Amino acid sequence: YPLDTLKTRLQSAVGFQKAGGFHGVYTGLGSVVAGSIPSAALFWWTYDTAKSVGLDYRRRQASGPGESTIHMLSASCAEVSALIVRVPVDNVKQKMQAKMAKTIVDTCRTIVRTDGVQGFYIGTFGMLLRDLP
């Protein structure tokens, strides 16, 4: 996590030092912890549901996708669904790492004020491209 914070600060528009430098490298960790459980729960629920539907379909058909394909497609569906939680959490985390706000609540208010609710989902396509393969 500290390396992720340093990377985010190096990429900050305000510069490394103004974004916090080497101080407070665990800033934003609370948002990640708070988002991990719902993200993982959504991933595994979607994966299990998609896998069950795929395997049931395969049993009813004379031919169909192999089990490996069903598992792969189920995992892809699960990744997409988990992004519903993961992208906003990552946006909040990055803004906190770059010292754009001090608390999770302040960070959320800043996002809504500047970009609206859709601001939480900035970067979704990039994360989708990163996580799907």
Range 44-58 average pLDDT: 94
Q: What are phi and psi of 125, to 5 degrees?
A: -60, -40
pLDDT at 10: 83
More confident residue, 2 or 58: 58
**What torsion, rounded to 10 degrees, do the Cα atoms 1, 14, 113, 35 define?**
0
Nearest to 39 by CA among 77, 87, 103: 87
Q: What is the C-alpha to C-alpha distance for residues 45 and 109, in angstroms, rounded to an integer?
A: 30
What are the pLDDT digits (tens) for 87-114?
A: 999 899 888 888 888 888 999 999 999 9
> In 61-121, which ranges are continuous DSSP H helix?
67-97, 104-115
